[in-house]
Amino acid sequence: MLEVQNLYKVFTGSEVLNGIGFKVEKGEVVAIIGQSGSGKTTLLRCISFLEKADSGRIIFDEYENDITKVSKKEIKNLRMRMGFVFQGFNLFSNMTVFENVMEGLVTARKMNKDVAREKTMKVLDKVGMSSYADRYPGELSGGQQQRVAIARAIAPDPEVILFDEPTSALDPELTGEVLEVMKKLAKEGTTMVVVTHEMGFAREVASRVVFMDKGVVVEEGTAKEVIDNPKEERTRQFLKKAGSKFEL
Ligand SMILES: Nc1ncnc2c1ncn2[C@@H]1O[C@H](COP(=O)(O)OP(=O)(O)OP(=O)(O)O)[C@@H](O)[C@H]1O
Ligand SMILES: [Mg+2]
């Protein structure tokens, strides 16, 4: 459904993406794992045009193009089909929870206000935040803020949602509630790409796990294959370190 091929990205002398190919099919939950600096965030940022790739191709269903030749209008269209949830919650602090979710529906998506209101209540309910609709982000815990950010991302019904370490800024006791919401979305068949250090989540929820190192995919497969029986030495080394840090 959404694919990049042969993606390259250099940041002032350091090659961050080295011809990486990455693909997510409809209904899949792909977990991307890999050590700090391996290029995971850069990959998501290039796919979502927050960062300009140096070369490569992008394919989104019927759309295919050189990723450096996508016009501004096409970028806008492609981005409308994606949802984003990043590490920081990026909610507007001067808007209520309700307004944070509804804003994009009315402005970017030009949705009728009544329809947008209804949709907003529905997604807040889905993430268990409807009783906080009138609160401001500053009055919420990190986990609650991230659930609102997820509600905002799913509200326009994007075809795929990209998550970049959605729980890594949270205290351990708050990660569970966010992962639960993501599990629920996964169960409903939402197409998701999740950069994560949560091996438990990857093992339980991901239909495919992709291990990245130095800007390429080193190994991919089911969680059983990649996490429990890694073939590549680099994957084994990574998991060994991750295991001591994150309690496999
Ligand atoms: N805007 C930037 N300018 C210069 N270098 C950058 C920029 N963004 C990322 N890099 C470099 O690119 C490399 C890959 O970074 P990236 O953030 O993609 O890694 P990551 O796999 O997401 O790591 P982490 O697990 O720590 O989030 C790093 O060496 C980083 O320093
Ligand atoms: Mg990152």
- Per run of 10 residues, the mean pLDDT along the chain (length 248 residues) is 97 94 97 96 96 97 97 96 89 96 93 96 97 97 95 97 94 92 96 94 95 96 94 94 60
Nearest CA to ligand 1 atom 17: 41
Place of tokens 């075809």: 159
Nearest CA to ligand 1 atom 18: 39
Ligand 1 touching residue 11 (CB < 6 A): yes
pLDDT at 87: 86
Nearest CA to ligand 1 atom 27: 36
pLDDT at 90: 85
pLDDT at 56: 98
Q: Which two tokens stand for residue 209?
A: 């796990």
- pTM for the model stands at 0.94
Enumerate residues with CB within 5 Å of ligand 2 (an ion): 40-41
pLDDT at 89: 72
Looking at 28-146, which runs of residues are DSSP E strands? 29-33, 55-60, 63-66, 82-85
Instruction: Let me know: does 242 contact 233? Beta carbons within 8 Å.
Output: no
